Structure 1
């Protein structure tokens, strides 16, 4: 703990990555640690977080954080406040693609997410993590971000959330747009803009970024890109201290909202 407290005194940048025990979040946390950040590896399960932090090494520390539970969010904020005194970067990566019957294929998950038949219970569960969780964590960490000289929030979204792209009749992913996961990312993009517009006057940058179709637990590892490839753009955005605010980018560059 003493080393963690000392890191702030040495002006080492401090980051929190939610859902960082696996997948894209793990890759982001790993890259931040490799670039000199003190990184809090957020994980719903403390044991999984500790394993991930140990694998990352360096200045990576596990922190229990379930974005749907206010008590864990508040406890995480209090711990970072006590150990670091500020937060320079918040990466809202935690997300789920479905919350229905386990063991379904990606195709079955997409079918169950159709607007006309989707379970309201499943929609609420996914949105609780992907939308409300991001709002809750961002609000809780704002007092710490305001103590940074150049604070940033990065929200890990999806190109599936782009209404402009999906509205194009030639879009290959048009049939994959549903009210469970895809629409939650559209809502997340709106949340990103709302925070970006409000916080711009405080010089706190807020951006959304998409990993692309990455093989992770989100899609039963049926994505076409490896997690290393898919993590490149989120890592670039997370490390970019001089970038813009209110941007939405993906593997191919800027994405339409």
Structure 2
């Protein structure tokens, strides 16, 4: 059995196979269509097929057919087995020399008494979905959380329908503005406790290194800005995105933060990303 572990490590040693694996890790627990992986990594279909086949052969990735689409996900049990091997065999079971420092202290690091949880929502343009999330969280629990939002696109502006929906829901939109994620990667930026991607494209991008190893979640949903059709159909798409985010954020603020460790909180955040998933896809 131990012979498989060198093969897994060797498979991940190939830069582009590693890139596929990292993208799937960023999208966990989603299953990602092959076409989306190929587009995100600029790979030809036959090249991607060779990479995922190699990852599947060593058990790192699983495949599922949904209609005519092949979808892929990381096999987390295989990853645990591999890390167990590295920890027990190579490191002789010594967490003090092998685990990153922030994992040795298991309890969730909580804000000081005079600081709230800082949360960042990221999407492509910071024009609708992440703006919704920022506004909803500040409205629901501004006494315990400080919400920020940003986009990965170089330039963007607030979508007028998104602003209209927020105003209809009774939110204050006077301080909203579109921001780029680079604004939150300087040494003067807040230290984040949570970072969420609310669109697939943002999750597919290379992740920046965030200080303090925040709890991260992927809450992907379709972009209402891209919906074609009548005005009524466009407004419906925005209301659906707002509703799905409202449900997830309501569940987030209801979590018993004081009694959850880092791993339990991460699992809860992953589960929240599945709320209303069918309704918005």
TM-score normalised per structure 1: 0.40
Q: Which has the higher contact order (CA 8 A, sep 6+)?
A: 1
TM-score scaled by length of structure 2: 0.38
